[in-house]
Structure 1
Amino acid sequence: MATASAVADELPEAMAAVLVAYERHLVSERDLTPHSVRAYLGDVAGLLAHAARLGHEEPTSLDLRALRSWLAKQQTLGRSRTTLARRATAARVFTGWLARTGRSPQDAGALLGSPRPHRTLPPVLRADEAAELLQQAVADADDGSPLGVRDAAILELLYASGIRVGELAGLDVDDLDRGRNVVRVMGKGRKERTVPFGVPAARALDRWLTVGRPALRADGAGPALFLGARGRRIDQRAVREMVHRRVAAVPGAPDIGPHGLRHTAATHLLEGGADLRSVQELLGHASLATTQLYTHVTTDRLRAAYRQAHPRA
């Protein structure tokens, strides 16, 4: 991961120092993942570099005009509304930290607005497509191939639980409670949650643990639940490639990866009558507003079915 000190060389001394301190805050105090730290630092470094070009030498001189100028520059470069919204959030979090820690007399970003991102409906599998995906994977696993058995277990668990691909790759064997059919997941911000899964997933996981994993396991596997082709903890990229390949074999299915299966699980839960709060807890969303996106998905599917079926649609 690129560190703050590696990107601060071209900043004024005071700006560079505060960027390094902010990295320590993100890593040590907020305990963010390396990916999140990298994203925040990249946005804030860009903001500070723009402010420096405007003549700001100290973080104390940052003001709302400089922040808006930075976002306007991003817009002229063709950045999407979603990117602009994310960077505005990064700026507000940063200036809030500056004010809280006494590094700035005021929170320059408190009044900074951000464009509403276009919320596109994520592609999801229909229930029959999801069933065919899993049936094919289970059938392929009947030959006893360790990788086939693993793929079936991964697909069943992703669809049953709606967990993220990073959460799946980080699972250890002890995270499974096979008696209660639940899995302990470490989510974003290192927040732990317990997620249930059904009988088909339990069968696939049992077969993986008793037949597939012992055959594939190599030195260095440690407690990892899922293993790659070389017998060590599976990489997220390998999971993504497998899911895309397996979904591509389902006629008419949209091209989705593990995150698409997460969308699919949430959509099918809501279509089946699950309440929004339960789905929020299952997915590990910090905000209910994030989970509400899936209500738009189900409404859109209902509207499409209505237009197709009702004679006066």
Structure 2
Amino acid sequence: MSKGKIDPEYVYLSDKTIEALEAWLNVRYHPLPHHSLFISLDNASRGHRLSDKSVYRLVKKYSSEIPEGKVLSPHQIRHSSITALLEATNGNVRLAQKFSRHSNLNTLMIYDDNRVALQQEAVNILANMV
């Protein structure tokens, strides 16, 4: 479900993501279609749907365990994914808009402006090294 949307919206998944989800469903002992996809595995709330807060805590916990990693939030991962896609496609904002599902192109342009600003910063750093 998209932020602010009433009707469900289909999203495309990569083959790797589908494989990971299938593996997770096998661990879940074949849940019924109406069951939540992601559930808590801790003793206090085992089997209940993961809340937004729980997802945030899990991302924060595991990102902090990465050597020299920075503590992340789910939104920062989304932001990084959009910026990386813009970088990989040389700023193809239409493709990034489809990926991010931003209805307003101006919102997406913030990501591209940040990307261009980082490029300028990188160029200046490298120029000062010569």
1:226 to 38, 47, 61: 38
Alignment TM-score, normalising by the size of structure 1? 0.36
2:29 alignment partner, SS class: helix
Larger radius of gyration: 1
1:262 to 78, 91, 94: 78
Structure 2 Cα separation of the partners of residues 251 and 297 of structure 1: 25
Could you tell me the percent identity over the aligned residues? 24
Structure 1 Cα separation of the partners of residues 127 and 17 of structure 2: 37
Bigger relative contact order (CA 8 A; separation at least 6): 1
1:286 to 76, 79, 103: 103
Q: Report whether the alignment pairs 1:303 with 2:124.
A: no
Alpha-carbon shift at residue 311 of structure 1 (Å): 4.9
Structure 1 Cα separation of the partners of residues 128 and 53 of structure 2: 46
Q: What residue number does 2:4 align with?
A: 188
**Structure 1 residues 180-213: Cα deviation after superposition (integer angstroms, max 9, x where no partner):** xxxxx444232543322223222211110112x2
Structure 2 Cα separation of the partners of residues 310 and 225 of structure 1: 49
Residues matched between the structures, number: 124
Structure whose residues are more often helix by fraction = 1
Structure 1 Cα separation of the partners of residues 117 and 7 of structure 2: 32
Q: What residue number does 1:214 align with?
A: 29
Q: Which runs of 5+ in 2 are unaligned?
A: none
Structure 2 Cα separation of the partners of residues 281 and 191 of structure 1: 17
1:292 alignment partner, SS class: helix
Q: What residue number does 1:203 align with?
A: 19
Structure 2 Cα separation of the partners of residues 249 and 189 of structure 1: 34
Structure 1 Cα separation of the partners of residues 57 and 92 of structure 2: 32
Alignment of 1:1-313 (within 5 A): 185-211=1-27, 213-214=28-29, 222-229=34-41, 230-273=46-89, 275-311=92-128
Alpha-carbon shift at residue 305 of structure 1 (Å): 1.7
User: Taking structure 1 as reference, are residues 234 and 312 closer, same or farther at Cα in structure 2, changes over 3 Å only?
Assistant: closer
**Structure 1 residues 55-97: Cα deviation after superposition (integer angstroms, max 9, x where no partner):** xxxxxxxxxxxxxxxxxxxxxxxxxxxxxxxxxxxxxxxxxxx
Structure 2 Cα separation of the partners of residues 195 and 292 of structure 1: 22
Q: Tell me if structure 2 keeps the 8 A contact 1:247–1:255.
A: yes
Structure 2 Cα separation of the partners of residues 241 and 312 of structure 1: 40
User: Taking structure 1 as reference, are residues 301 and 197 closer, same or farther at Cα in structure 2, changes over 3 Å only?
Assistant: farther
User: Taking structure 1 as reference, are residues 278 and 198 closer, same or farther at Cα in structure 2, changes over 3 Å only?
Assistant: same
Alpha-carbon shift at residue 246 of structure 1 (Å): 0.8
